[in-house]
C-alpha cells in the first residue's frame, strides 16, 4: 500500500470515532416562539387568563403560593460520554394578587442560582433493626399462610368441607 492509501484508510476509520466528540445542545422547558424576545406582563393590567393565553401553562406553580407561576427554560451542552452541563437558564416568575392580576414579574438567570450539595448520609427510619440471626431464624416455627391453620374452620373459607 502506498502512503496516501494508508492515510485515506486511517482517516476513513477515524471519522466515526470523531462523531462522538460532537457537542450536543438540548433545550428544556419553555421555548420562546418566533417573534418573542422575552416573557413580559404589565402589572395591574394582565391577569392569569391573559398570561395563559399568551404563554400557555406554566412550567411550575408555587407549592406554597398558588399565585406564583414560573416559566423555566434551560440549555444543556453535552460532549461524548461526559456529563452534560447547563450553559444557560432563564426563569420568569409571575406573581398575582388575590384578584388574579399580575402584581410583579421577576426574571432569574443561571447566575442567580445556588449549587446545592446533597447530603451523603442515610435517613434513619423507625422500626426494629434485625440482626443476622433474627433475619436468618425469624420465621422458624411460623406456619405459612394458607396452611390450614387459619381458623376454626380449618381453612380460609371457614368451612370444613362438603
Question: 158: Cβ–Cβ under 8 A, 6 or more apart, which residues?
Answer: 151, 152
Reference 99, options 44, 51, 57, 32; nearest CA is 44
126, three cell numbers: 423507625
- pTM equals 0.57
pLDDT of residue 71: 93
- pLDDT tens-digit map of 72-98: 999 899 887 888 888 888 999 999 999
| pLDDT tens digit sequence for 98-144 | 999 999 999 999 889 888 888 888 877 777 778 888 888 888 877 77
- Structural domain boundaries in the chain: 22-112
Amino acid at each position: 500500500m502506498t502512503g496516501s492509501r494508508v492515510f485515506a484508510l486511517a482517516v476513513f476509520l477515524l471519522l466515526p470515532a470523531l462523531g462522538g466528540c460532537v457537542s450536543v445542545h438540548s433545550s428544556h422547558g419553555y421555548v420562546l416562539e418566533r417573534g418573542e424576545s422575552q416573557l413580559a406582563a404589565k402589572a395591574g393590567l394582565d391577569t392569569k387568563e391573559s398570561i395563559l393565553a399568551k404563554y400557555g401553562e406554566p412550567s411550575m406553580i408555587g407549592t406554597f403560593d398558588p399565585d406564583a407561576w414560573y416559566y423555566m427554560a434551560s440549555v444543556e451542552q453535552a460532549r461524548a460520554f461526559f456529563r452534560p452541563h447547563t450553559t444557560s437558564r432563564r426563569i420568569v416568575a409571575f406573581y398575582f394578587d388575590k384578584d388574579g392580576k399580575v402584581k410583579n414579574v421577576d426574571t432569574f438567570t443561571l447566575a442567580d442560582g445556588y449549587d446545592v450539595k446533597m447530603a451523603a448520609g442515610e435517613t434513619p427510619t423507625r422500626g426494629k433493626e434485625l440482626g443476622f440471626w433474627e433475619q436468618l431464624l425469624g420465621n422458624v416455627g411460623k406456619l405459612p399462610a394458607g396452611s390450614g391453620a387459619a381458623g376454626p374452620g380449618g381453612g380460609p373459607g371457614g368451612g370444613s368441607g362438603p
